[in-house]
A and B are shown apart, each in its own frame.
Chain A
Amino acid sequence: MSALTIADVERIAALAHLDLTADEKTRFARQLADILDYAQQLQRVNTEGVPATAHMHAAAGMERDDALQPSLSPQQAVANAPDAAVDAGLFRVPRVIGG
């Protein structure tokens, strides 16, 4: 039985940039423990020397020439950004340095 403490849940949430409510923490602690418990059955499989499959790509990928192609304008690229300075083509975020 993998036990997941509230502290574990808080640590993972911080890594994932999520801020959970007290109720979410309790629920996720139980549900994630259930799922991880179930996933423990993979330990029964002998994987000695078995390579990992990370992707299905064929050996030769779709490499292309490193040539200029038409692309979005800076204005189009930031058009969906909240609080963007669209005309300047800039994203805007809360102040990072100084105060």
Chain B
Amino acid sequence: MADRAAASARAIRDDVTAKRASAVEVCRDALQRIEASNPALNSFLLVDPEDALARAAKVDARIAAGEAPGALAGVPVAIKDNLCVRGMKTTAASKILETYRPPYDATVIQRLEAAGAVIVGKTNCDEFAMGSSNENSAFGPVRNPWALSRTPGGSSGGSAAAVAAAQVPLALGSDTGGSIRQPASFCGVVGLKPTYGRVSRYGLLAFASSLDQIGPFARTVEDAALTLGVIAGPDRADATSSREPVPDLMAALTGDVKGLRVGVPRTFVSEGVDEGVKAAFDAALAVLERAGARLVDIELPHAPYGVPAYYLVCTAEASSNLARYDGVKYGYRSKAAADGLQAMYTHSRSEGFGAEVKRRIMLGTYVLSAGYYDAFYLKAQQVRTLLRRDYDRAFEAADVIAMPTSPIPPFGLGEKTDDPLQMYLADIFTVSANLAGVPAISVPGGFVEHDGDRLPIGFQLAARPFDEPTLLRAADAYQRLAAWPTIAPPS
């Protein structure tokens, strides 16, 4: 392996399987790279080299004992800090969980390890996955490896940055309204949000249960497909996981998009989009068209209502999900003299949660409260139905739907923190896939120059529910043709 930093998960897996490299060697290399670049990036919240090397040694021992090496044998993987890894501090980047050590592994962790992957550490994110810039972490923001003064996106900013900076070839994140795809776009890597229900959410610290979905970050669509194949499938521990069979996703990557119908919601993507993003989007469509795909105009009439519907639904669900953080069962308990149980709850929550989490709990509580439920929450759920119908109709004419991932390139740290609404508006192109439950992916789609920085732009595709094969085929074909660099130059 000449350049292990740049190696794909698949290449590492092949080398470890063929015993050209050991999992321990690969892990040690990754740990060195993390140690070198983490002070500048803050992408990892926790790396325990001894623990990681012990996990790698177990993989080597299994291979030495003649066991099947697994689809991700020896591949170092970074885990967003809202996913439970047994015995490993899991904070959701919140002070309220600063000392939490889960007594169990999330289902995705069990499946990654069964496939031979090596968990190397936990990545930074927005607190409880609430944010689009990673600036809501209680442990400091992540910096974009392509331009350190800018945000890597959020909420899975640490996972995206770790893959873009070649600290690891693979990471897991979670996507509630774009939290995998938008940071993938900002960091110039691949980010996949599977169909709702495709991947078990057991062991994911819940934010908005009807929208949350776990997915991979990688530098190639092929690695994302490989990883989804490992983590997908029904799970008795998650009643919302789907029984839908998981097809052979690697076999779907034929490189052939001839006759593929690519739907473009022209009206929706024509307004409020940065010129550079627009140019990159048009160029990406042209690449697919030249490869034999057919561009078709579609309409998603309710997509412009996606952001308001999303922020009412997700905050309502969050206000309910985050009620569990009360200083009793786990996490932070206020030291303030508490006059009884209720006061203890209130002090612990007020001291433990950060500003954005409080804001969302407040908004969610408001829209669920008597007198506002019908006008806000119920209305948003009805609009969600209309948006799902828009997608159903669009998929009659198209096999995949293309959009920019973000209307703007990576912005400066601190640029939008004073105005939460402005931050929310930038989620316009990602939230609708979550509301409709469809799978969507962001692939590197070019670069734009801004104030002397060369910034990555993501190209987003969505497909019918459970049609990840078509989604990945189109994304992979595009990536092979466009071949944008996916590793940020060392800063």
Contacts and interface: CB of A to CB of B under 8 A. Distances in A.
A19 B343 CA distance: 9
Given A35-B420, A41-B305, A62 B238 contact: yes
Contacts of B342: 17
A81 B328 CA distance: 6
Q: How large is the interface on B (under 10, 10 to 19, 20 to 34, 35 or more residues)?
A: 35 or more
B84 to A, nearest CB: 11
A31 B359 contact: yes
Given A82-B328, A96-B341, 20 more contacts: A12-B365, A18-B361, A32-B363, A39-B376, A41-B308, A42-B309, A42-B380, A42-B383, A45-B379, A52-B378, A53-B385, A54-B210, A56-B210, A56-B437, A57-B239, A62-B236, A63-B239, A78-B329, A80-B101, A82-B333
Contacts of B100: 80
B235 interface: yes
B338 to A, nearest CB: 5
A12 B366 CA distance: 6
Contacts of A18: 346, 349-350, 353, 358, 361-362
Interface stretch (B28-36, B43-51, B240-248): B240-248
A93 B342 CA distance: 10
B340 A61 contact: no
Nearest to A58: B242
Interface in A37-58: 38-39, 41-43, 45, 47, 50-58
B268 interface: no
A20 B386 CA distance: 37
A39 to B, nearest CB: 4
Contacts of B380: 39, 42
B312 interface: yes
A43 B420 CA distance: 22
Interface in A64-94: 64, 72, 76-83, 91, 93-94
Contact of A42 (B305, B358, B421): B305
Contacts of A95: 340
Nearest to A99: B340
B139 interface: no
A77 B328 CA distance: 12
A45 B388 CA distance: 15
The 10 A-B pairs at the shortest CB distance, nearest first, are namely A52-B381, A82-B333, A80-B330, A47-B382, A56-B437, A39-B308, A53-B384, A19-B350, A56-B196, A16-B365
Contact of B330 (A34, A39, A62, A81): A81
A63 B323 CA distance: 26
Contact of B369 (A12, A28, A35, A64): A12
A94 B341 contact: yes
B345 A62 contact: no
A28 B350 CA distance: 14
Contact of A38 (B101, B242, B308, B435): B308
B207 interface: no
A22 to B, nearest CB: 13
A39 B238 contact: no
B216 interface: no
Q: Determine the main DSSP class of A at the interface with B.
A: loop
A81 B385 contact: no
Contact of B331 (A12, A17, A72, A80): A80
B264 to A, nearest CB: 23
B345 A17 contact: yes
B362 A32 contact: yes
Interface in B193-242: 196-197, 209-210, 234-236, 238-242
21 contacts: A16-B319, A18-B353, A31-B359, A31-B420, A32-B362, A35-B424, A38-B308, A39-B312, A42-B308, A42-B309, A42-B383, A52-B381, A53-B385, A54-B210, A62-B234, A62-B241, A62-B243, A83-B333, A91-B328, A94-B344, A96-B340
A13 to B, nearest CB: 7
A34 B338 CA distance: 34
Contacts of A54: 210, 381
Contact of A31 (B99, B103, B349, B421): B421
Interface string B367-403: 0010000011011111111101000000000000000
A24 B317 CA distance: 22
Contacts of A72: 103-104
A1 B30 CA distance: 53
B326 interface: yes
B359 A82 contact: no
B329 to A, nearest CB: 5
A15 interface: yes
Given A16-B319, A24-B358, A96-B341, A53 B328 contact: no
Interface string B298-309: 000010010011
Given A58-B197, A83-B333, A45 B383 contact: yes
Contacts of A56: 196-197, 210, 240, 437
B308 A94 contact: no
A91 B241 CA distance: 31
A43 to B, nearest CB: 7
Given A42-B309, A81-B330, A60 B243 contact: yes
